Amino acid sequence: MTDREQLNLLRLESNIRKLMGLVRAQQDEIESLRKTILCQENQLKEFDELLKIAETKNRTLLTAKALSAEDKEVKDAKARLAKLIRDVDKCIALLETE
């Protein structure tokens, strides 16, 4: 083998090692992103559950309002619940954008 061929072989080996390192780094990045996605999916499920609970409470408050004579308290409770629902919706929107 000539000196030039040996030099080319060494360069090829070096490039292969670099490429293998890049592949490992990309695989690590992919695994990290998969874990992040799984975590965010779990958070989204939790926020969906919170939203369902808030919607149930909202329906209950609406029913209570229809039966209640104390309109001011119901309005305050409804406003607090509406804010809670907006907060949960914002959290879900943030998770969906990530």
User: What is the C-alpha to C-alpha distance for residues 95 and 3, in angstroms, rounded to an integer?
Assistant: 58
pLDDT of residue 73: 72
pLDDT of residue 10: 94
User: What is the C-alpha to C-alpha distance for residues 37 and 50, in angstroms, rounded to an integer?
Assistant: 20
Name the pTM for this structure. Answer: 0.52
Q: What SS3 state is found at 51?
A: helix
Q: Would you write out the chain's pLDDT as a tens digit for each of its 98 residues?
A: 899 999 999 999 999 999 999 999 999 999 999 999 999 999 999 999 999 999 998 988 887 766 665 667 767 888 888 998 998 888 888 888 86
